[in-house]
Structure 1
Amino acid sequence: MPVLSGAEPFVHDGSEDIGVLLCHGFTSSPQSMRGWGEHLAAEGFTVRCPRLPGHGTRWQELNKTRWPDWYGAVERELASLRGRCRSVFVFGQSMGGTLALRLAQLHGDIAGLVLVNPSVTTVRPPAALLPLAGHLVPSVAGIPGDIAKPGVRELAYDRLPLHATASLRGLWRTVRAELGKVRQPLLLFRSAVDHIVEPVNATIVLDGVSGPDVTEVVLPDSFHVATLDNDAPTVFAGSVEFAHRIHRERAEVLA
């Protein structure tokens, strides 16, 4: 299946000190993370942003996949980074944040997490009907490109594949049930206005993780896809500062 132009994975080999795994969101593609990845690369970090299975092609392909497929892709990239870099971080946007949390639950040696509008649930009443609707129709209209900045486009599907969406809900349940296992330093960016992920998601994550180093930053001028929005420079700079700080603290402990 041909990959959409711009949806290709992002790879940069930089320092052996700090590696970053970037995880994009549901129905999206590495395009939404490319600016972030390029910023991290310019700082000298080693960066990997895989294209998750079923993404960046056609929504019908996403409907053939399930959350273990998406998780498997990021876990393989994590293994590659762990073999190369001294401190490995996972940064995720939306469902990419969900996958980042799952990685942290199962891999305690991850140095830290940076999450942008992570999703772990939805309280919208129509969502409860999606599993039933999936037996009747393969997809419904999606809401790609929730971005405040004029003229910026997210390369994402305009349809919501319902079988894949039902599997996403399974990932949410799995991650929520084990949030207490997330003990790594965590920096969470939340958009003040987000038409996709409700504020309760950040609340659940922040209340559920058990690490002592947890920070929330509210983004005042961005919608859901903040990595492509007005506050992207805040996210990029904050994540670099966070990674340098945690890496330095880890080195001091080992010295």
Structure 2
Amino acid sequence: MPVALLTDGAFSAEVLAHPGLVVVDIWAEWCTPCRALVPIFEALADRYNGRVRVAKLDADANVEVVTRYDVRALPTVLMFQGGVLVERLSGARSIGTYTDAIDAHLARGDAGAIAVSSVERPMAAPAPANAESGAIREARQLLANDEATLVFKHSSSCPISFMAKRQYDQFLVANPDVPTRLVIVQKERELSNALETVSRLRHASPQAFIVREGHVLWDASHDDITQPHLEAAFVALRPPA
């Protein structure tokens, strides 16, 4: 089965609306390491034909997706389960790395994503399915991930938010395997509001919080969003040695 070619315009329908696992290779023509993934992704498409959607997206031609998911290195492979980002692998890896990750997500059938605070906050009670908007469903799926996931709400018009995002960016560079979701409030107002509703966290921007299995485990806003604070939050989530 050939590797599917994605665009910004088709991303929501082909990836976010897909109920199963989607593996996306984000590449560029000029990127030498990206070429190493061409035969690997062709092999993955054949191996998981009918079980996993395997696709690629040209970073230079599709800036919206690259910005939305804060892709900072090429190649970057993003894995989505039920429309939720569950894994990020930066740099060219061996085929075994990808098959191990894919097999793990298939075994779990999870919706994946990230998140720590001293008091856990349960998710809001689910509304009838026919009453939920797409944004509410995405917010619920994001919080339902069984891996700690970092959500960052960014205001593109706020100087404080730009400073906080710099700290967030530095954290991601140092921790590229941490699942994350960047929400640009001006572009994703409905999702931002849905996250407030589902998480029961009063909206702020900038705002960062870590979620896992329906709970907000940690949250911060404004000047409290720093790389050291994020590092400490994730350290606190690790099981004791």
Same fold? TM cut 0.5: no
Structure-2-length-normalised TM-score = 0.32
Higher strand share: 2
Structure-1-length-normalised TM-score = 0.31
